[in-house]
Chains A and B, each alone.
Chain A
Amino acid sequence: MTTKLFGTRVPRVEDQRLLRGRGTYADDVLVGQRVLHAAVLRSPHAHARILDIDVSEVLDVEGVHAVWTFDDLTGPMAEPLPLLIPHPALTHGRTQFALAKDEVNHVGEAIAFVVAEDRYVAEDAVGRIRVDYEFLEPVVGIDAARAATRLVHDDVPGNVGARLEQENGDARAAIAAAPHTLSLDLTVERSACQPLEGRGTVARWDPDLGRMTVWTSTQTSTGVRGCVAAKLGLDLGQVDVITPDVGGGFGVKINHPWPEELLVPLAARILGVPVKFTEDRREHFISSAHERGQQHHVEVGFDDGGRVLGLDVQFWHDHGAYTPYGLIVPIITSTQLLGPYKPGAYRVVFESLYTNTVMVTPYRGAGRPQGCFVMERTMDAIAATLGKDRTEVRAANFIQPDEFPYDQGLVFQDGRELEYDSGDYPASLEKLKALVGWDEFEAFRAEMAAEGRRVGIGLACYVEGTGVGPYEGAHVHVETSGKVKVATGLTTQGQGHQTAFAQIVADELGVPFEMVEVTTGDTRRMPYAVGTFASRAAVMSGSAVHLAAKAAREKAFRIAAEALEASVDDLEISDGVIRVAGTDSAIDLGTVAVLSNPLRYAFDEASKAATQFSVGDPGKPPVAEDDEPGLEGKDFYSPERSTFASGMHAVIVETDPDTAEITILKYAVVHDCGHLINPMIVEGQIHGGVAQGVGGALYERMAYDESGQLLNASFMDFLMPYVTEVPAGIDIDHLETPSPLNPLGIKGAGEAGVIPSAAVFAAAIEDAEGIPITAMPISPSELFTLREAHLPEETA
């Protein structure tokens, strides 16, 4: 091959389309064709029994075609939605119905579904539905859930959906015997993914072919396909799900199915006209998913050097009204909390609690930001107690480079052992200290203090389990033109998969990058796939694409060797031409593709060109028993366990002495995701993650009132960072400890930027203010109040 693309900053191919406004997001599908539009009646109450629904006035609205309530649903559609990831500890899992049956458990729960000529008319009709409710007292927030004076579900005692405990060693005994102990209470509030594109689904039923085509804004096309088939009573083979472009996901689009993902195809089949649902922003706030809300209690015992001898963590996770996504988030917190450290003994127990609020699915980082917050606040507290430098305490607890693979003695979210594959945490810390100027900070602080300015520095370390299984697959097809069509089943929501995967294929197959075209998220092209979440796409599909391209290359070489009357070992390929090394004897990959398919029709010039070569033995069948026609490669990658990326962030903040405004002066990231396929894309992921992290640390929260109304369900009131809120520059340094678990040595990078944010900001604010920070996010007014609360102590 000529130049290796792996590891280089190849500009993204998808940009050509997206920059011209030619992307295809769900709501762009079937524009210009006859499509009906859906709107949903959503519960205005957090907890209520539905006594009666009157839809009699709905069909009078001109342009309305149909309305569904629970009573209209039959068969599997009338059963609860699937509990996707059951777990033995989830003793009281509950999922919603596609349309509420008898009871609603959060504001925004779907009650009725209207289909009309356009969205405006559908919403008019929704406004005419009359529902009689019997109000029930809602349970809002973790305190209310734990108090359990009221229940979300009558048959779930104590509002506890699950209780899970894991222990490695005897943590309580180790703490009791330790020279120093501390206890901490730490809280993180609810936030949400908020991709700029909300959810959207379009479906078309073709009665002649008996096929359902669904376009949906999802992180898992295959998952939606399975659900649609099961719920609508169709064979899997009758359902195609296509997801060309997704306007951001960050976790919320992994849930499947959403009620609308079933109701839209159902309506399309019954009405015989394509149907579209496009969520609006308020709906996204109150009817999709949130994350992050957790309370934690930590007991820790340590020695004079800051070495953690025993760590005992108890926490409470608010999973909202339903648990379709199981216990993934709290399991991740409970395990990933350990980060790069190896405590002498560790015990963790959590309860996952029901509340009358929107359900939880993973949000970028998925439980890790909370875990990192807990562990890093603990490290800072230990350092403060011992009067030691915060980096020293961390270094005393690091897993050392020669200790990999390192088994943490716990079970991870995928049911496999929590065993880290590779890493070099001491090297990472050295890089971070240099990058942020850790050792020079006290001089800087003094300089600033002389000007009456208050600054603080913080750091936070994390390890991120990435590339979870079970598998991904890829299909590579070389056309007779020499073009290479690649399909992988997982979706893309902005991570540049079309570019990154094409880089891998171009390298492996020895073809120009421009000849490779990658399709993602189309079940017609690759029906076996899991999805794009948990920083798994590069590891999983990247590896699968690599293996599939290798298979295609092997076949190409086998045929070319025969055509060129040479040995496979003497062949090489570059720029799409296979040649016998050191000779003029050569054949185009496209011509090999023609030869791979023993047809006797010359469709095109490539076929004619192929006639000069002869392959195959006339005494044998044209397609050998162990062969198949066509130049294709297909393979799957299934890892033993997750890869473990890692990183460390540091931030310098300035806090305003009067307004308590928090300004970011410097932000530094050291990042290790193994080998980088495209550093430009990885850095982009870090930038985006840091911005989301800044939002989570300083601004974003779900402001529920006690009746369960979300008071800030708009972009006007839920504060996400604009350019004015993010650091002007992020200093990034990479470390590459390749993963031994996959052929490319890669680990995922998607969530890295966001994991340590709450921890790193809490540390820096605490350092600037000298007040313990135990709850995030923190707004200027909260910081102001904290200052007031600590005044008497200081003056006393």
Chain B
Amino acid sequence: MNREHLRGLFSAKSARVNTNKGEEYYNSLYERCKARLEELKKLKPVNNVNIMEVLEDEGINRRDFLKWASAMTATLMLPASFTPLVAEAAEVMNRVPVIWIELQDCAGNSEALLRSDGPKVDEIILDIISLEFHETLMAAAGHQAEEQLEDAMHHFKGKYLLFVEGAIPLANGGVYGTIGASGETFEEHLHRVAKDAAAVVAVGTCATFGGVPAAAPNPTGAVGVMDIVKGKPIVNIPACPANPANMVGVILHYVLTGQIPELDSLLRPKFAFGYRIHDNCERRAHFDAGEFVEEWGDEGAKNNFCLYKVGCKGPMTFNNCSIIRYNEAVNWPIGAGHGCIGCSEPDFWDKYAYERPMADANIKAPTGGVEKTVDEFGLGLLTAAAVGIGIHAAFSAVAGKKEECEIEEGDR
């Protein structure tokens, strides 16, 4: 395998996101968005909050707000000319009601959302968007909360975005997750609330692919939202926790265009999951140069070398966290010296969540490509390793279905 071939694999069409769809496309999209925002402005806001007033109260000026809008425009992979539209969309976000339900999970996505980033996006979330129902955030609780959910579903029939956090346990008739006094199962609950939603957004790896509860032997029969809800637009925002920037991005996109964003074959928004972590990793240059952390705390670790040999799954993981990062963009796992565990990929809990070098994990790419150990074969094989990774990644992008990873007998 030569470098040319390698480059070919990494830049294969399937591994790419089309960030420039041509002037004609963007002009027509611009007009559509403008019309949509005009329509939204005519609607009565669900709550009477003026974003600019709230921001000013908090000491945030227009300039800072536009900076955020510009960053968000880039996140959504739109040309810079869309920035004023994104800002306008944020201002009319309170015309789109959001219902958030929590099923079988650890509440990590709600927690991440509570601390979402951007200038005052916390305010946007708490005040501006019309979060009509959220068990953890809202004031009502118990029976009162149930009534509130009914009201929101009725009042905003066919208009609300339903955010679902958590998996759906199906084993033993759904006994492992029930809700409310009636003992409604999570499956019934999801069916009921999703019925009149405009679109369903599955947040976090539990809601998208079943998550840790679905890890072998999947004692509760956990599945994701797309296995239950049919005949509705579904957006998957996997990762554990999902990045709040991507949640806000989906809402903004919906407000802006009236549609869900362009999705890949795993129903993930392309703006967020269009490329691998590895493609934009700050340590990528070290991978290319063959410089690896051999053991945590060694000289390589001190010099921020590539973490592939201590178990990083970045080359197999599609997500934008190498760009967006976490917690106000302060850091991300790789920044703190720990490899990616591939938490936004289907079955990560059984395939990738190995806390040791990949070489010891008996994970094989569909082509059988991931090497045994880099050391055993020397730098020549490093290229082969990368090729294996490239094939694997390209495969997952093309096929877009659950990747068949062989796990050796007795490994589980």
Tell whether A pairs with B: no
